[in-house]
Amino acid sequence: MPAIDALLLTLAAAAIAPQLETAPPVQAAPLRAAPLQAAPMRAAPIHGGTLTVGLPYDIDTLNVYSTAELGDVEAAVVEGLLAPDEHAKYIPVLATEVPTLENGGIQLTQGGSAMRVVYHLRPGVKWHDGADFTAADVKFTWETVRDPRFLAESKDGSQDVTSIDTPDDLTVVVNYRAISPAFASTLFTFGILPRHLLEGHDLNHDVYNQKPVGTGPFKVSEFRRGQYVVLDRNPFYWRRDEQGASLPYLDRVIFKIIASSNTLGALIRAGDVLLAPRIPYMLAKQLQGARNIELVSGPSLGWVHLDFGLKSGSKLRDPVLRRAIAEAINRAALVKAAGGYPQAIRSPIVPLLESLYDSSPDASAPAYDPDAANQALDAAGYRRGPDGYRSKDGAPLQFWITTRSGEIDGEIGEQIIMAELKAIGIRISADNKSGIAYREARYRGDFDLLYSRWVTASDPVYSVFYGSHGPLNGQGYASAELDAALARMETSIEPAPRRAAARDVQRILAQDLPAVPLINMVSIAAKTRRLKNFTTNPTNMTDFIGIARWYLEPSQAGTP
Amino acid sequence: MSPQFLLRRLVGMVPLLLGISLVLFMIIHLAPGGPLDAYVDNPSVTPEALAQIKVAYGLDQPLPVQYLKWIKSMAQGVWGYSIRSGRPVTQEIAERLPATLLLGGTALVLSMALALPIGVVTAALRRSAWDHALTFLSFAGISIPVFWLALMMQLLFAISLGWLPVAGYETIGAAGLLDRLAHLAMPAVVLSLATVAAWSRFLRASMVDALGQDYIRTAYAKGHSPAGVLIKHALRNALLPVVTVVSMEMASIISGAVITETVFAWPGIGRLFVESMDGRDYPVLMGLMMMGSAALVVSNLAADVVYALIDPRIRYD
């Protein structure tokens, strides 16, 4: 996934634990053994081997808090207290259990208006340099991340904490200023910083950003800018497999930076890259049926949507127009153009979020119905001219559509939408942008129609996108009713009221239609058949969070 | 050519580069957005923290002050820190320079080695089958998109034949001269193809022009061999305009080649520039663009010097 996407992910603030890529294998892929389920093992995992990975973006820094990319490399090196598994459920990593209300890990304070989270840390964990990992490191991480002098991209959650107590070396008590159901999606999950190496250092310019020291299964041996990162096995890694054998299985991992997806495809075919995470749908299509290559797909919490620019003066403030546009879009065509991988959706709360999703019609955006769209536009006085395009009172019905340039899947989707809107008589022209220019347009609302995507955490927070003051709401959409529903949803930690509030959120969004939810993304990885135990991860913590259990079968003659 | 002339030209570069830097600085800041956009939209970065970040990068100052500060630190050899990676700009650029110069230099040498004979042959044998064939190939070379050619070469030489690596700068842990050459081959050929085509056309036109001059007829009349006339009399005169074109190309080497670098995963300056542009990494952008401008100014001077060497009639005082 290109740089900026990752950037949006990290940005998508409070609770974005994006990139859902879990389970079901796509085509040709046989059922993979999910490490947590007791799947029958054909052969015992083998120690050794080098895994070569192709990454599509240039790495800026290897510090999980300051990078603007997804931390693929970092996930193999740095660990947090918790991590989302392949089903986007939190599992303990450096903590011994996931804090919940039931196990007493979450305690409500100040008469139920605030909370305290207690983590018990895993004993005997060592940093890559051999020093002990303790509660002081956890506290240091919070102090460092919230320090305004530290210029970081991901400071999510650091402002919600008022203080941290460390009664002993293995206990951390985090005091929150309010109820924060999404606490697990933020800082202590991203990663813990080593206090003994960083205290008193200027983390903006520290060597840590090139060679981070963590507790994870691999340590950084070499980082060549613009080329590759070499990771070697951490021989003292704390985790063991079910048979008691040491982890990780792999000896070495090399991340190669390959910005061109065509080149990446060639490298995969040539066997020079054995794993490529999050490949574009177009590349997946090309690699289908390639010898010795397996495509693994998993669900994602990401979804693609068409946003309306609703700033004052915009024609799109007319609900009739928005509804007609929504009815004109055939999601099946979008799915087909994406190689059949994604799923059509009609609500921003994706079906994968089982505890929140509601499939009832009044909570879903309009389905494909171009006849209804045409009738509604006729009735509203948008008359077709001789060229087939509509206008009203002499003003032509025309809009710009924007998406991130250079991103092939997005540009293809944009073309389809342009064709479909032309079919109902709306003239559409593309105005694509890249990098900061795209961000500017997106967050300042300088667009008519925006074809883009969001990814949430497994504890999703939607107020950032659709709240009247949502930091990522560049559309200019504001609804007091929705704000109230979002507030109820995002401050309740009990399942039932949370679900009811989520239903209201879905219903109001389907009614107001500030954006048309289109497809639920899937995450597709291309890998050699020799790589076993690989699972995709649906969150922003990337597939590499499970790397300790991956192993390579030895190659036979002629197989990459 | 007098040493005074060289000195005068060198001194003259200073105000020129200063002027260029001012224009570049203004253009960069005219583009929408800024390096801190990532933080502006981030709800966990408070306005106070953002203000502090601005101070840390000096972005709170008015633009003229920022510019003067930048000039002052550049003059002292301090190019600032990359906002994207937090590392010194000089380090960011220095890491990419060897790969950039190796690829660009090889492509340049290759281009000249091919364009000169092609230009001479097509001019000498104009309207022959050779001329038509090479002319056709030249137009093909100019017209074929770089990314497509690169892809086809990868498919043929790396995937089907397995002779060359698909992409990359070196084999990790096994880099040697042969390995380096194998990695260099395809990008250098791809990068030089369009130049070979353009330069050989350019030289052909210039040669045809020279071959029609009276002194060529005189040379033949004096009994010089055809090859001697072609090389000594015609080529030497035809080279002057080519020198100008080549010197421009030499300067652009240092700016890298974005598409070739991207397709062949080559760690050059071009990719660094695009990434820095997308992130509005002002310090890196200014460093790169000033380096490119300086290279252009210097290569213009070099071209003037070469004119004088090739053509004794040209004198600088």
> Is B271 in contact with A58 (Cβ distance < 8 A)?
yes
Question: Concatenated DSSP letters for B6-75?
Answer: HHHHHHHHHHHHHHHHHHHHHHHHHSS--TTHHHHT-TTS-HHHHHHHHHHHTTTS-HHHHHHHHHHHHH
Q: Output the pTM of the full model.
A: 0.83
Query: Which residue's structure tokens are 């389809």?
Result: A416
A-B C-beta contacts closer than 8 Å: 148
Terminal-to-terminal C-alpha distance of chain A: 24
Residue A254 three-state SS: strand
Question: pLDDT category, B44, cuts 50, 70, 90?
Answer: low
At how many degrees (to 10) do helices B269-278 and B89-124 cross?
A: 120
Of A13, A205, A209, the CB nearest to B42: A13
Q: Across residues A452-472, what is the average pLDDT?
A: 87
Q: Is the peptide bond before A99 cis (omega within 30 degrees of 0)?
A: no
Would you state the pLDDT for residue A88?
80
> Is A227 in contact with B37 (Cβ distance < 8 A)?
no
- Pair of tokens at residue A331: 């999601």
Q: Across residues B161-188, what is the average pLDDT?
A: 91
Would you state the pLDDT for residue B40?
65
CA nearest neighbour of A277 among A292, A256, A291? A256
> Is A270 in contact with B275 (Cβ distance < 8 A)?
no
The mean-pLDDT minimum among A24-28, A144-148, B61-65, B289-293 falls in: A24-28
User: Could you tell me the sign of the dihedral formed by the alpha carbons of A41, A45, A50, A53, in that order?
Assistant: positive
Question: pLDDT category, A406, cuts 50, 70, 90?
Answer: confident
Q: Across residues A469-495, what is the average pLDDT?
A: 90
> Is B154 in contact with A263 (Cβ distance < 8 A)?
yes
CA nearest neighbour of B295 among B142, B113, B31, B104? B104
In terms of DSSP H, where are the helices of chain B?
3-30, 37-40, 47-57, 63-75, 89-124, 129-143, 146-153, 177-211, 214-221, 226-228, 236-253, 258-263, 269-278, 282-310
Least Cα separation, residue A50 to chain B (angstroms) = 12
Contact list in A for residue B87 (CB cut-off 8 A) is 205, 209-210
Contact list in B for residue A4 (CB cut-off 8 A) is 278
Contact list in A for residue B38 (CB cut-off 8 A) is 7, 11, 68, 153, 439
- DSSP letter at B263 equals H
Residue B177 three-state SS: helix
> Is B46 in contact with A260 (Cβ distance < 8 A)?
no
Question: pLDDT category, A52, cuts 50, 70, 90?
Answer: very high
Least Cα separation, residue A228 to chain B (angstroms) = 9
Question: pLDDT category, A239, cuts 50, 70, 90?
Answer: very high
Q: Across residues B39-54, what is the average pLDDT?
A: 70
The amino acid present at B243, given as its one-letter code, is V
Contact list in A for residue B279 (CB cut-off 8 A) is 68, 435-436
Contact list in B for residue A227 (CB cut-off 8 A) is 168-169, 265, 267
Q: Which residue of B has its CA nearest to A440?
A: B33
- The answer to whether residues B234 and B212 touch, using CB atoms and an 8 Å cutoff, is no
Of A230, A437, A471, the CB nearest to B172: A230
Q: Across residues B80-104, what is the average pLDDT?
A: 91
Would you state the pLDDT for residue A221?
96
Query: Which residue's structure tokens are 């000089």?
Result: B90
Of A13, A436, A472, the CB nearest to B279: A436
Is 80 exceeded by the pLDDT of residue A38? no
Is 50 exceeded by the pLDDT of residue A423? yes
Is 60 exceeded by the pLDDT of residue B67? yes
CA nearest neighbour of B289 among B21, B19, B11, B14? B21
Query: How many of the other CB atoms lie within 10 Å of CB of A100?
Result: 13
Q: Which of B278, B280, B288 to mutate to test the interface with A (most CBs of A within 10 A)?
A: B278
> Is B268 in contact with A226 (Cβ distance < 8 A)?
yes
Is 50 exceeded by the pLDDT of residue A12? no
d(CA B299, CA B241): 14
Is 90 exceeded by the pLDDT of residue B315? no
Would you state the pLDDT for residue A21?
30
Contact list in B for residue A228 (CB cut-off 8 A) is 172
- Pair of tokens at residue A435: 């990098």
Burial B208-230 (b: 16+ CB within 10 A, else e): bebbeeeebeebeeeeeeeeebb
Contact list in B for residue A443 (CB cut-off 8 A) is 37, 40-41
> Is B42 in contact with A153 (Cβ distance < 8 A)?
yes
Q: Which residue of A has its CA nearest to B265?
A: A258
Q: Which residue of A has its CA nearest to B269?
A: A226
Would you state the pLDDT for residue B317?
67
- Pair of tokens at residue A183: 């606490």
Is 50 exceeded by the pLDDT of residue A22? no
The amino acid present at B158, given as its one-letter code, is A
In terms of DSSP H, where are the helices of A238-296?
261-270, 281-287
Alpha-carbon distance values, B289 to A283, B105, B279 (Å)? 34, 19, 15
CA nearest neighbour of A346 among A325, A361, A334? A361
Q: Which residue of B has its CA nearest to A258?
A: B265
How far is Cα of residue A67 from the mean position of the Cα atoms in its chain?
15
Q: Across residues B226-242, what is the average pLDDT?
A: 86
CA nearest neighbour of A501 among A490, A512, A509? A490
d(CA B9, CA B307): 15
Is 70 exceeded by the pLDDT of residue A59? yes
Q: Across residues B53-69, what is the average pLDDT?
A: 86
Of B32, B35, B84, the CB nearest to A437: B32
- The answer to whether residues A530 and A556 touch, using CB atoms and an 8 Å cutoff, is no
Least Cα separation, residue A116 to chain B (angstroms) = 20
Would you state the pLDDT for residue A490?
87
Mean pLDDT of chain A: 87
